[in-house]
Amino acid sequence: MAPIASGHILTELSISMIYCNLLPLNSDLLLQLPVPRCYEMASVDLQDVSTQLNNKISSIKRSMQLKNMCNDPSLTNILQKIGLELSSIRGILDIFQMQIQQQQTELRSLQELKNAVQRNSEKAHHLLENIPTHLPKKAAETSTVPAKDLKVQEVTAHPEPEKNSAKNKHFVREIEYLLMEEFNQVPGYMKGRMTYDQINAVIKEINATVKAKYKILNQPMKSMSNTTRNQYHAFKEQETKETKGQYFFVEADIKDFSHLKVDKKFHVILNILRHCHRLREVRGSHHVRYLLL
């Protein structure tokens, strides 16, 4: 007799239990019963036909034996237990199916998260490789310096151009670039359509103007040409008591040392810089002086 396949045994056992009224007879259960392979005729060869007929006869005999088991009271309890176990297995398979679907959903979510992280990483690398030159530089690291020495450093960090010109003749104060947080806090009516980059570009030109102006003021008189000497005296005439020891510029300096246009747009940016405490106005003697803070 041919060996009994596991699929055949489950099929025959289920059929026998239906006969014994241990399992409810319904169309769904019948559809779920596997079809033995012996019922599939893959060849018309006589030997195959004989083998298939023998398998069918054996299957019918086993089904009859299982049906007769229902009349044995000692085996009825066993069949009932088997039926309960089959129902339990079916429930476990349903749970596994639900867990598989849940894990597939989580896998799709993780894939989307991975793609988002990859896009952010590419953006971060792009920002790192294209850092604007006008952004503020990293602050110097704090050091354990005694309080007395720290005060001395604070005094020498921002020297006055006249008193300490001998020691720091190349030092010129600059306007700090605007931070994005500061730009966002500027009222909308004040900045209008002005962008963050446009304001910092003007700051860059102003710093270059102030540097060029005080380069002339710190230059020895003997090395000056006539044109430079005239500029020197004009710069001195612009100074007042309020500008003593301070760095400042006027609109004429912007025209002489930069490519900026002194127009309405320029004055809007100056108002923004005053609002952000980068400049302060000092008026008098037909000049508007802009002091660097």
| pLDDT tens digits, one per residue of 113-159 | 999 999 999 989 888 887 776 665 654 444 455 555 555 455 444 44
| Segment 176-224, tens digit of pLDDT | 999 999 999 999 999 888 899 999 999 999 999 999 999 988 888 888 8
The H helix count followed by the E strand count for the chain is 11, 3
Q: Are 16 and 70 in contact (CB under 8 A)?
A: yes
Query: In which residue are the tokens 């006249």 written?
Result: 162
Q: What is the pLDDT of residue 132?
A: 72
Contacts 24+ apart (CB under 8 A), 54-57: 54/2, 55/2
Predicted confidence at residue 267, as pLDDT, reads 92
Report, as an integer, the average pLDDT of 45-56. 81
Distances, alpha carbon 168 to alpha carbons 115, 157, 196, in Å: 54, 10, 32
Query: Virtual CA dihedral for 155, 157, 162, 163, nearest 10 degrees?
Result: 30
Instruction: Give pLDDT, residue 9.
Output: 47
Query: For 79-83, 162-166, 167-171, which range has the lowest pLDDT when averaged over its residues?
Result: 162-166
pLDDT score at 79? 73
- Mean of all residue pLDDT scores within the chain: 77
For the stretch 57-98, pLDDT in tens is 888 887 777 777 666 776 777 777 877 888 888 888 888 889
Instruction: Supply the pLDDT for residue 77.
Output: 76
246 vs 75 pLDDT, higher one: 246
Please give the sequence-ordered ranges of beta strands (E in DSSP) within the chain, or none if there are none.
248-249, 279-284, 287-292
Within 8 A by CB and 6+ apart from 170, the residues are 218
Confidence at residue 76, expressed as pLDDT on a 0 to 100 scale: 73
**Would the pLDDT of 47 be above 50?**
yes
- Average confidence (pLDDT) over 12-25: 50
| Separation between Cα atoms, residue 224 and residue 216, nearest integer Å | 8
Q: pTM for the full model?
A: 0.46
Q: Give the helix/strand (H/E) hosting 11.
A: helix 6-19
At 269, which helix (H) or strand (E)?
A: helix 264-275
Structure confidence at residue 273 (pLDDT): 94
Question: What percentage of residues in the chain have a pLDDT greater than 70?
Answer: 69
